[in-house]
Amino acid sequence: MTKNKSARFQVDSRLARLLSQEYSSTEKALKELIDNAWDADADSVSVTLPAPMSDEPIVVVDDGCGMTTEEVRRHYLAIAADRRIHRGDRSTNKQRLIKGRKGVGKFAGLMAASIMTLETSARGVLTSFTLRLGDLAEVDDIEHLPIELVTQPCDDSSRGTRITLHGLHSNLAFPDPKKFRQILLQEYGREAGFVVSVNDKTLGVDDVDGSYQNQTLTIEDVGDVRLAFAIGETRSVSRQPGIVIRVDGKTVGKPSFFGLDEQEDFPPKLLKRLYGEIDADGLRDHVTAGWDSLVENSELLARVTEAIRPVVFTAFKERYGREIQLAQARLRREVHERLAALPEHRREYAERAVKKVLDRFFGEPPEKIEPYVFVLLEAIERSDYGAVVEHLAEAQRRDVATLADALERFGLADMAHLVEQANARQAFLDRLESLTLAPETLEATMHKAIERNLWIFGPEYSLFSSNKTLQRHADEMLGKQFVGERANNRPDLLLNENLNGECLLIEFKRPSHPLNRDDYTQATNYRHDLAKIVSKPIRVLVVGGRRSPDFPTTNREPDVSVATFGDVISSARRQLEWQLKVQEV
């Protein structure tokens, strides 16, 4: 017997903010419905997507726990209520970590369609209702929208939820099955006990957007091993990249890279693009008792690894070999002259070493790789350091350990580094002092010279490093204040951050400028302006040529310091001289 009951939405105070959020694509909106099936402890969920330009609906069906009529009324219709508050962070039966956290994902389907019908079965009752966007437009308050719950008896064993979406929005692209599978693969491709299918195709390795291979290898004492893997076009194809081993249809252990992650000349970032699986039933006698891994010292597993690694490596080389070579070529042009100046025997070694660095940091921006390359070349160019570096590269592991112990015992490594650093910094201070003595030196010149050398202000300042986002805030703030004729008076500010989240605002004045009260007031005002958009504490440092009598010495705001270039350079020299004297002793 069918019964109709009335219900209404129960509105949480977070509704307006949450419903204002939009999904960037139809596929991402539909993923919310898959998350709901996961939260409902479903074993499987199937999605049927319509052909483009058709009138067919989108249908999402799961075999989860379903909902009773009262659960629909009290929980499902409680928009924006955080379910974790009432039912915890994990699902009832399978103890899965809950994914639906905002309470509006259940209505994500309305981002793609104008009519949503929900049918859910639990405890011998089928409950359904239909929601139309048109009805929402006719009420001033969603809380006043009546919902007609239709209930009827069903089989006691029936459970699960079906969502049907009619009237797809014409201004949105039809959901693409391939794109949708790739989004789902990212999160659910490795989940055991949760099968997702789209248009009757279960998620699989061949859904990765990239190059796909499927072949069978015959391995001694293991038999036929089926290898299916893909190398994705995007940076990461899954939350768990790599290749899993399946024995008798069951996944054993975690994904592996089969030794590629241990090759020094293989770019680690490429590993995130690998996704695959191996069916090796011949390893069943080498699975641990808990069926959670394979025996580590298994000879058969070693044979499988040796057979799989070259196949995958060759596929990577074919796909990314040219890209790797181009990356190397760009940087090699910059170091070509330095390599050419090296003796032939050392040049060959330097080229191999540079290649290893380029491979290791594949995909990183050039500004991150260049320091490693140039430090390496600096060491090789010097005959004494070059000999040590070359010996370390060619030594056996136990020899390296012995040498490292000796260097640590005598402190030679630290001594060499500190002396070299101190000498380089002495030369820097000489050049910086020349700039301060030149009357024409501008603030921007001092800013550029000091930006990456904050150690001159003292050890505590050396922990601050460049932060592009913070600097952009400072530039935008100045851009609004100094426009038109005032643009020429725009000050030079540097905003950095240390590991503790503290910010340092440095206002540079030209070396010929005497610091006065106006400079102090201006710098503290900048801090007040930035505090409106930067939530972290901000220290202020004003730097100039000398200090005027009217520069405040008392009653200053907290964390405001002043320094002259002369005093800073003098203090930095004393520290370096002490450092060199200690090393000589």
User: What percent of the chain is helix, strand and coil (3-state, nearest 5)?
Assistant: 45, 25, 30
Quote the pLDDT of residue 361: 67
pLDDT score recorded for residue 461: 76
Higher pLDDT, 362 or 448: 448
Rounded mean pLDDT of 404-422? 55
Q: How many residues does the chain have?
A: 585
Give 461's DSSP letter.
G
Q: State percent of the chain over pLDDT 90.
A: 30
Q: Is the pLDDT of residue 435 over 50?
A: yes
Q: What is the DSSP letter of 363?
A: T
Determine the pLDDT at residue 38.
93
**In terms of pLDDT, which residue wins out, 273 or 23?**
273
Residue 456: per-residue pLDDT? 86
Residue 161: predicted pLDDT: 96
C-alpha angle with apex 377: 374 to 381, nearest 5 degrees?
140
Question: What domains, with CATH codes, occur in the chain?
Answer: 3-198 (3.30.565.10), 204-321 (3.30.230.10), 439-569 (no CATH)
Contact present, 551 and 515 (Cβ < 8 Å) = yes
At residue 437, what are phi and psi to the nearest 5 degrees? Answer: -85, -15
d(CA 150, CA 485): 71
Q: pLDDT value at position 170?
A: 64
Region 403-432 average pLDDT: 65
pLDDT tens-place string over residues 491-520: 788 888 876 778 888 899 999 999 999 999
**In this structure, what DSSP letter does residue 50 have?**
P
Q: Considering only 69-78, 116-125, 384-393, which range has the smallest mean pLDDT?
A: 384-393
Average pLDDT, the chain: 80
> What integer is the mean pLDDT of 566-575?
88
On the question of pLDDT at 409 being above 50, the answer is no
Burial class (CB in 10 A: 0-12, 13-18, 19+), 521: exposed
**Higher-scoring residue by pLDDT: 423, 313:** 313
Q: Map 130-186 to HEC letters.
A: EEEHHHHHCCCCHHHCEEEEEEEECCCCCCEEEEEEEEECCCCCCCCHHHHHHHHHH
Distance CA 161, CA 47 (A): 12
What's the CA gap between 501 and 504, in Å, rounded? 10
Q: What is the pLDDT of residues 30-68, one digit of tens each?
A: 898 999 999 999 999 999 999 887 889 999 999 999 999
186-235 per-position pLDDT tens digit: 889 888 889 999 999 999 999 998 889 999 999 999 999 999 999 998 77
Is residue 167 very low, low, confident or very high in pLDDT (cuts 50, 70, 90)? Answer: confident
pLDDT per position as a tens digit, 77-101: 776 555 555 566 788 888 888 886 5
pLDDT of residue 462: 72
Mean pLDDT of 563-582: 82
Phi, psi angle pair for 335, to nearest 5°: -105, 5
Mean pLDDT of 115-120: 93
Does residue 533 surpass a pLDDT of 90?
Answer: no
- Find out whether 530 and 505 touch, Cβ atoms under 8 Å: yes
108-127 average pLDDT score: 89
243-265 per-residue burial string, b: 16 or more CB within 10 A, e: under 16: bbbebeeeebeebbbbebeeeee
Interval 257-284 mean pLDDT: 86
70 has pLDDT over 80 = yes
The pair of three-digit structure tokens given for residue 36, joined into one six-digit string: 């709901």
- pLDDT recorded at residue 127: 95
Helix (H, G, I), strand (E, B) or coil at 463: helix
Mean pLDDT confidence for 543-564: 90
**pLDDT cut 70: percent of the chain above it:** 74
* Other Cβ atoms closer than 10 A to 576: 19
**Residue 423 confidence (pLDDT) above 50:** yes
**Residue 570 pLDDT exceeds 50:** yes
Least confident span in 154-158, 268-272, 367-371, 526-530: 367-371
Helix (H) or strand (E) holding 119: strand 113-122
Q: Is 129 helix (H, G, I), strand (E, B) or coil?
A: strand
Per-residue pLDDT, 460: 74
Instruction: Indicate whether 256 pLDDT > 70.
Output: yes
Q: Which residues, other chains included, contact 357 with Cβ-Cβ below 8 Å and sequence gap of 6+?
A: 369, 372, 373, 376
Kindly report, residue by residue over 345-404, the tens digit of the pLDDT: 667 777 777 777 766 666 666 666 777 777 777 766 665 555 555 555 555 555 555 555
The first and second tokens of residue 298, run together, are 């298994």
